[in-house]
Structure 1
Amino acid sequence: MATKDLSQYNIESVPSAESMRFGIVVAEWNYEITSALAKGAIYTLKKHGATSDNILVKYVPGSFELPLGAQFFAEMENVDAVIILGCVIQGETRHFDYICDGVTKGTVDLNLKYNKPFIFGLLTTNDEQQAKDRAGGIHGNKGDEAAVTAIKMVHLKQNFSI
């Protein structure tokens, strides 16, 4: 769950992202929400030292396409981590379940296949207001959390490589 107060993430211990390179793949569907998530992620990456040149953003039509867009980053760009941002709002059909399951499984598979952090930033909400609340509203911005997670996971991997 997105939180307005990132203190539970020990924000003081976030390493510098100065030498890190990030891909961000953003779903165009529910763009008002997903663009807010992307802005939050970019802001947080820069706050912790990432440069604009080391933050690459690409868009896919919808959330179901997020894993493939993320895979393209892994195969075609030299990135240390990929942040996956989308929003699926519950409707009257099972479509919600299929999309959420597909993106979740796809993200897990990418983490293991490429041995690099693919950060799950998919909002799965019951209604549009819940999504807004988690994309810069009363519950903070899930994009911020995804960025902190990306930085910490890249740092963890770098510590294993030393």
Structure 2
Amino acid sequence: MNAFDTQYALSTKANKGERHRIAFVQACWHRDIVDRCKTAFLETMQSQDYAQEDIDFYEVPGVFEIPLHVKMLAQSRKYAGIAAAGLIVNGGIYRHDFVSTAVINGLMQVQLETGTPVFSAVLTPHNFHSSEEHATFFREHFVVKGAEVAKACVETVRKIASLATV
């Protein structure tokens, strides 16, 4: 089944009044911050007529593992959209730029290869400090990003479903 066939099947499901399944993949590092994204994502999806049962949640150890997990989920053809969340910090060595580039490029490649839209809340602060003030800022920022990713997911999934019926 190619990407068009998958999206056509998903649009047929939507035309029957059924909601699309969505996946959310999150890295476990900095869970206290990244969990805020997941919570905001779920709350916003529910405000857009999705039920918690429509969304499958997955965890991976770190952000580097996200693209492969997302690719396997996309290849399953079960999901109309997949969101990813993680925090990449500058741990005092110059590798965070390489990791963030690899992750974002990987997520883009997945959606181009599979036709399943992928949404990223994988963030790389310029200089992350483990102080409570800085952690609080990013906890709040991940709430905003979770809501933004959910809105983008809902809108994109609906638009792609409507394109498949043209």
Bucket of the pairwise TM-score, normalised by the shorter protein? 0.7 to 0.9
Which range is displaced more, 56-65 or 71-80? 71-80
Is the contact between residue 25 and residue 59 of structure 2 (CA under 8 Å) also seen in structure 1?
yes
So what's the TM-score if we normalise by structure 1?
A: 0.82
Gaps of 5+ in 1: 1-16
What SS does structure 1 have at the residue aligned with 2:84?
strand
Look up the match of 1:135. 139
Aligned partner of 1:127: which letter? F
Deviations 1:45-91 (A, max 9, x none): 11111111110000000011111111121123611000010011123
Which of these two proteins has the greater Rg computed from alpha carbons?
2
TM-aligned CA distance change 1:113 to 1:77, over 3 Å: closer
**Residue-pair matches, total:** 145
What SS does structure 1 have at the residue aligned with 2:50?
coil
Deviations 1:1-52 (A, max 9, x none): xxxxxxxxxxxxxxxx971211000000111111111111111111111111
Extract structure 1 runs of 4+ deviating beyond 3 A.
128-132
Gaps of 5+ in 2: 1-16
Aligned partner of 1:62: which letter? G
Structure having the larger proportion of residues in strand: 1
TM-aligned CA distance change 1:131 to 1:89, over 3 Å: farther
Percent sequence identity over matched residues? Answer: 22
Is 1:155 aligned to residue 148 of structure 2? Answer: no
In 2, Cα distance between equivalents of 1:35 and 1:120: 14
Structure having the larger proportion of residues in helix: 2
Deviation, structure 1 residue 95 = 1.6
Is the contact between residue 36 and residue 135 of structure 1 (CA under 8 Å) also seen in structure 2?
yes
So what's the TM-score if we normalise by structure 2?
A: 0.80
**CA-atom RMSD in angstroms:** 2.0
